[in-house]
């Protein structure tokens, strides 16, 4: 498996964590549900430090190289990620499912 981590420092951008969160929940998630070989993707933020990012885990290096949906964060922020890392996933654990009513991200 391969992991791709990307994040932006929002200093100098007109975007904020709040504005990016709104855009993500409005139209940023659906396109990712049908990506072949995508094991998991999650978005993260640090409002205090002004950072926004995502982590993607792919089933293989070949899957990680397939075309992806448009990078909406880059388009909104106006530049590519400040940091982009790619590495091997040595192990992956998921916990028990979170009941729908207990999901703070929805």
pLDDT in tens, 36-72: 999 999 999 999 999 999 999 999 999 999 999 889 9
Could you tell me if residue 50 is inside a domain? yes
Output the pLDDT for position 31.
85
The neighbour count for residue 16, using CB atoms within 10 Å, is: 14
Beta-bridge partners for 42: 55
**Residue pair 13/98 in contact by the 8 Å Cβ criterion:** no
DSSP summary character for residue 14: S
Domain extent at residue 90: 2-94
How many domains is the chain partitioned into structurally?
1
Evaluate if residue 106 carries a pLDDT over 60: no
Does 89 reside within a domain?
Answer: yes
pTM: 0.85
Q: How far apart are CA 34 and CA 41, in angstroms?
A: 12
Q: State the pLDDT at residue 105.
A: 59
What is the overall mean pLDDT for the chain?
91
């Amino acid at each position: 498996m391969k992991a791709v981590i990307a994040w932006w420092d929002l200093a100098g951008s007109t975007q904020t964590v709040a504005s990016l969160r709104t855009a993500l929940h409005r139209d940023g998630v659906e396109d990712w549900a049908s990506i072949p070989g995508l094991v998991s993707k999650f978005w993260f933020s640090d409002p205090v430090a002004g950072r926004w990012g995502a982590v993607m885990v792919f089933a293989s290096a070949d899957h990680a190289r397939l075309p992806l949906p448009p990078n909406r964060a880059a388009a909104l922020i106006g530049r590519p990620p400040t940091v982009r890392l790619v590495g091997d996933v040595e192990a992956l654990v998921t916990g028990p499912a979170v009941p729908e009513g207990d999901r703070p991200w929805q």
